[in-house]
Amino acid sequence: MNGIRILFSLFLLPSLLVPNACSSKVEYRFVVVDSQNLLLNDVEGRYREGEKIEIRLAFRSGPRVGALIDGESYYGEATCQDDFWYESFVYTMPARDVTLYTTLDGRTGLEKTMDFTVSYDYGQYVQGKATKLLNLALLGLDSKIVTDSIAGDVLRMFYDGEIQFQETHPSKAVFGDDFRLVSMTYAEKATFCQVDLDSISSEEDSSYVLLNAEGNYLTLDEYKADHSVLYASVDSKTGKVYAYYGYEARYVYF
Per residue of the chain (254 residues), what is the pLDDT tens digit? 555 554 444 444 444 444 444 445 899 999 999 999 999 999 999 999 999 999 999 998 888 999 999 888 999 999 888 889 999 999 999 999 999 999 998 889 999 999 999 999 998 887 889 999 999 999 988 888 999 999 999 999 999 899 999 988 889 999 999 898 888 899 999 999 999 988 887 665 568 999 999 999 999 989 989 999 999 999 989 989 999 999 999 988 65
CA dist list (Å): 190 to 31, 150, 201, 237, 250? 42, 7, 21, 10, 10
DSSP-assigned letter for residue 50:
T
Q: Among residues 185, 186, 197, 208, which one has the least CA distance to residue 230?
A: 197
Query: What pLDDT does residue 206 have?
Result: 61
Query: What pLDDT does residue 21 have?
Result: 42
Which pTM does this prediction carry?
A: 0.70
Q: Strand runs (DSSP E) across 95-223, as ranges?
A: 98-104, 112-122, 130-134, 137-138, 154-160, 163-166, 171-175, 180-188, 191-195, 208-210, 217-219
**CB 113, CB 160: distance < 8 Å:** no
Query: What pLDDT does residue 254 have?
Result: 57
CA dist list (Å): 21 to 14, 15, 149, 212? 10, 8, 59, 67
Query: What pLDDT does residue 252 have?
Result: 80
